[in-house]
Amino acid sequence: MLIDGRSIPDGERVETDLCIVGCGPAGITVAREVASAGVRVTVLESGGRGQDPSVDRQGAGESVGHPYVGMERTRARGIGGTSLHWKLDAPGDEDWIARPLDPIDFEARPGVDGSGWPVDAATMEPYYRRAHEIGRLGPFAYQPADWPAEPDPPFDLPASEVVTNVVQRVAHTFAEHEHELTTSNAIAVVHHATVLRLASDGTRVTAAEATSQDGRKFTVVARRFVLATGGIENPRLLLLSRRTGDGVGLGNEHDLVGRYFMERLSARAGVLVPARPDLISQAGLYRSHLVDGTRIQGVLTLAPDVVRREGLRNAMFWVRERPRMITSPGVGSLLSMYRLIRRRPFQPGVVPGHVMRIARNLPDVTRTFLHYALRQPESAFEVFQLGVQAEQAPNRDSRVTLGRRRDVHGLPVARLDWRPAEADRESIARSVELLDGSLRHAGVGRVIHKIGSESPRPLFTGNWHHMGTTRMDPDPSRGVVDAACRVHSTANLYVAGSSVFPTAGYANPTLTIVALALRLADELRAGNWGDAA
Ligand SMILES: Cc1cc2nc3c(=O)[nH]c(=O)nc-3n(C[C@H](O)[C@H](O)[C@H](O)COP(=O)(O)OP(=O)(O)OC[C@H]3O[C@@H](n4cnc5c(N)ncnc54)[C@H](O)[C@@H]3O)c2cc1C
């Protein structure tokens, strides 16, 4: 059933068994799975059908830490959630990138996170496989050897040092599940229904207090609640849901809600100059391409034993063939400047350094500019630009809190204080050093313009992956949710989404979000609904 929140009378009280807040990949997955067990599900979604920039603007916030783009551009509101953004990328790039976390990502890793995940890779694998069906992905296959029809081999590198892994890409958004959801007798999707707060009696959530876009208010009373509003709104809504009496936000008894915010650290990491020119034409595995009907792409990573031994954050490297001029440090500085202008807070201190570097590399910068401005035919590729997509280690001071500004409903917006640490940057620099050493020894090539101690530094951008803000840990003093994703202090409240990730790995998060949502759905299905409302 599909209901427009604007048609619900002011003051209405809706009763259901399970109330899910948010209709993105996480909420959709929980809804379809739990409803298949006959449980009545109501999904409250702030946006409408499809994307509406005026609704997305409700996701605007304040950025006070590492420069970040307007938060409303990093998430979308509507049935399908932020996956609605996936279609807005450049034509030909409108697919989503998927890969499970590596087994090492679940481990306790000194220097990254002492506790690790309360689940391991083997436990997650069946859920990942099921997530593949929902995400319309190809076979659960992430090593080059899994793709015998692949024409180009990976670079010939010692597997004990550097590994080629595979990501999958698929043109699909979770909005495509709308029909399936809304034709289910057990599911009511209410769009234009923004939850303002979760009311609780101290131990249980009693109701979700919601409003339609036109200001009418209604409540949803349920046996259980799942918060699935994304990695920034999940903590914001918990903080907004202060308990009467002590004023503590839901689940925030240990001041953990919103802390440990992690993004993906992305930047140009170096330029791989191949030892032989023919390596460029033989590197097809590292391009996005179809094999047996599935779009795949190879990436380079350090071997897990190297990551463990060196105490590194995990990272992957995109290997993009490029004309040499485009990889010049001057062009990198131009890109950093462009990105800085679009991010807040603005960092004027680094501008002179970037301008100097652009000036020193003016011929390359000019040629690159003309190349794109005049839409010249693609120059011959000579080198590979290495792009890093790295893990940020959990940092207690990197956090989401409530801001000073108010949203259209009069509530404080999210305030993001993103704090990548110096150790995160050092880990990437060390990873590039090790990668360079292995590439040289194997006779593949050498890395120049390595990310490291250069000044000014390239700007780390995020990938719009919002993680860690309601972290999962069996110990309530270290995590907001337990291993079953239930809020420690609130018996009937669960959290779905990347906010529960204790650590981030390097893989894009949605496959793991959906796998965890399936695990949560199994937990909920197995629960006793006999006393359902
Ligand atoms: C441009 C872009 C490209 C991306 N590409 C990839 C990719 O290739 N691979 C990948 O794995 N990830 C990618 N991501 C990240 C991915 O989109 C998110 O990780 C994923 O959508 C998160 O799913 P979710 O269900 O947890 O949250 P969301 O998808 O953010 O859904 C949350 C939903 O909750 C709703 N909501 C929020 N607050 C309220 C409220 N108070 N009341 C009611 N409803 C509310 C929102 O309207 C939204 O619909 C990309 C993100 C962006 C921005």
Asked whether 514 and 522 are in contact (CB, 8 A), the reply is no
Q: 432 in ligand 1 pocket by Cβ < 6 Å? A: no
pLDDT at 94: 58
Q: 45 in ligand 1 pocket by Cβ < 6 Å? A: yes
The C-alpha atoms of residue 64 and residue 294 are separated, in whole angstroms, by 41
The protein residue whose alpha carbon is closest to atom 4 in ligand 1 is: 86
The protein residue whose alpha carbon is closest to atom 47 in ligand 1 is: 77
CA of 174 to the centre of ligand 1 (A): 10
**Which residue(s) pair with 3 in the sheet?**
190
Pocket test for ligand 1, best of 6, 52, 75 (most atoms within 8 A of CB): 75
Strand runs (DSSP E) across 442-522, as ranges?
445-448, 493-495
pTM recorded for the entire structure: 0.97
Angle ∠(136,137,142) on CA atoms, nearest 5: 165
Q: How many CA atoms lie within 13 A of 236 on its CB side?
A: 28
Query: 226 phi and psi, to 5 degrees?
Result: -120, 125
Q: 505 in ligand 1 pocket by Cβ < 6 Å? A: no
Q: 96 in ligand 1 pocket by Cβ < 6 Å? A: yes
Question: What is the amino acid identity at position 497?
Answer: G
Burial class (CB in 10 A: 0-12, 13-18, 19+), 441: exposed
Q: 485 in ligand 1 pocket by Cβ < 6 Å? A: no
CA of 478 to the centre of ligand 1 (A): 25
Burial 103-135 (b: 16+ CB within 10 A, else e): ebbbbebeebbebbbbbebeebeebbebbbebb
The protein residue whose alpha carbon is closest to atom 48 in ligand 1 is: 81
Q: 510 in ligand 1 pocket by Cβ < 6 Å? A: yes
Cβ count near 525 (within 10 Å)? 16
Q: What is the dihedral of CA 424, 427, 432, 434, to 10 degrees?
A: -170
Q: 144 in ligand 1 pocket by Cβ < 6 Å? A: no
Q: How many CA atoms lie within 13 A of 209 on its CB side?
A: 13
| Region of residue 103 (phi > 0: left; psi between -120 and 50: alpha; otherwise: beta) | alpha
Question: What is the amino acid identity at position 382?
Answer: E
What totals of helices (H) and strands (E) does the chain contain, helices first? 12, 21
* Torsion sign across C-alpha atoms 183, 188, 189, 190: positive
CA of 80 to the centre of ligand 1 (A): 8
Pocket test for ligand 1, best of 510, 511, 513 (most atoms within 8 A of CB): 510
Pocket test for ligand 1, best of 212, 229, 512 (most atoms within 8 A of CB): 229
CA of 435 to the centre of ligand 1 (A): 33
Q: 393 in ligand 1 pocket by Cβ < 6 Å? A: no
- The string of DSSP codes covering 253-273 is TTS-TT-S-B--EEEEEEEEE
Closest CA to 466 of 57, 28, 59, 88: 59
Cis amide leading into 345 (omega within 30): yes
Q: 232 in ligand 1 pocket by Cβ < 6 Å? A: no
CA of 82 to the centre of ligand 1 (A): 3
The C-alpha atoms of residue 473 and residue 118 are separated, in whole angstroms, by 6
Asked whether 502 and 117 are in contact (CB, 8 A), the reply is yes
The one-digit pLDDT tens for each residue of the chain (533 residues) are 999 999 999 999 999 999 999 999 999 999 999 999 989 999 999 999 988 888 888 889 999 999 999 999 999 999 999 999 886 454 455 589 999 999 999 999 998 988 899 999 999 999 999 999 999 999 999 999 999 999 999 999 999 999 999 999 998 899 999 999 999 999 999 999 999 999 999 899 999 999 997 889 999 999 999 999 999 999 999 999 998 778 889 999 999 999 999 999 999 999 999 999 999 999 999 999 999 999 999 999 999 999 999 999 999 999 999 999 889 999 999 999 999 999 999 988 999 999 999 999 999 999 898 888 887 766 689 999 999 999 999 999 999 999 999 999 999 999 999 999 999 999 999 999 999 999 999 999 999 999 987 888 888 999 999 999 999 999 999 999 999 999 999 999 999 999 999 999 999 999 999 999 999 999 999 887 765 44
Question: What is the amino acid identity at position 470?
Answer: T
Cβ count near 7 (within 10 Å)? 11
Tokens found for residue 76: 């979308």
CA of 336 to the centre of ligand 1 (A): 26
pLDDT at 531: 54
CA of 213 to the centre of ligand 1 (A): 20
pLDDT at 533: 44
The C-alpha atoms of residue 228 and residue 525 are separated, in whole angstroms, by 17
Asked whether 32 and 183 are in contact (CB, 8 A), the reply is no
CA of 233 to the centre of ligand 1 (A): 10
Cis amide leading into 458 (omega within 30): no
CA of 78 to the centre of ligand 1 (A): 10
Residues 6+ apart with CB under 8 A from 327: 268, 271, 383, 385, 449
